[in-house]
Amino acid sequence: MTQDVTDTTELTEQEKLVQLQDNQLVDLGANLKDEIKILSDRLTRIKFILRQRLIDKKAKAFLHPTIDCKGVYKPNTFNYNVLKPLLEILDQETLDHMYTPKGTKEIIVEEDWDMRKVKSLNQFGEEFQDIIDKATIPGELYDIAFKRKE
């Protein structure tokens, strides 16, 4: 006995979404956006509490049986003024490997236009407008924004 290939199998999530009407998709998208906002706010509050607990415990991580949960720290910064005595202590060869004195260096700068200023040339007529229009590369559609009407 052969299996009938025309049998409808369970639809994938994508196939289910494709079958929805525009209004249904818009509603679903807006609802999901609202749920994500609620979850994001909740996560922010949880992270704040956990951060405070790490500080209070002077700890770097939480002990949890199934989750690795640790604080993420910004890179260290340094007060260079406090390092000044090293300039007197270390020999020049050692300093050359770890210290660059304040100064200027010659660099190659790529061509660049400040388009805010270039666009202001439109006020001087069609010649400028045509050039700017030809130079403009339209942005691609990459997302759909949802905002509830109030």
- Tens digit of each residue's pLDDT, the chain (150 residues): 444 545 556 889 889 999 999 999 999 999 999 999 999 999 999 999 998 998 898 888 888 888 888 888 888 788 888 888 888 888 898 888 788 888 877 888 787 788 888 888 888 889 888 898 889 887 776 666 767 777
Residue 126 lies in a domain: no
Answer whether residue 102 is part of any domain.
yes
> What does the block give as tokens for 10?
């369970």
What's the pLDDT at 100? 84
What DSSP state is assigned to residue 122?
G
Domain carrying residue 68: 13-109
- 145: in domain: no
Counting Cβ atoms within 10 Å, is residue 29 exposed (0-12), middle (13-18) or buried (19+)?
A: middle
What pTM was computed for the model? Answer: 0.53
Residue 2 domain-assigned (yes or no): no
- Identify the CA nearest to 118 among candidates 104, 108, 133, 107: 133
Residue 144 lies inside a defined structural domain of this protein: no
- Number of domains present in the structure of the chain: 1
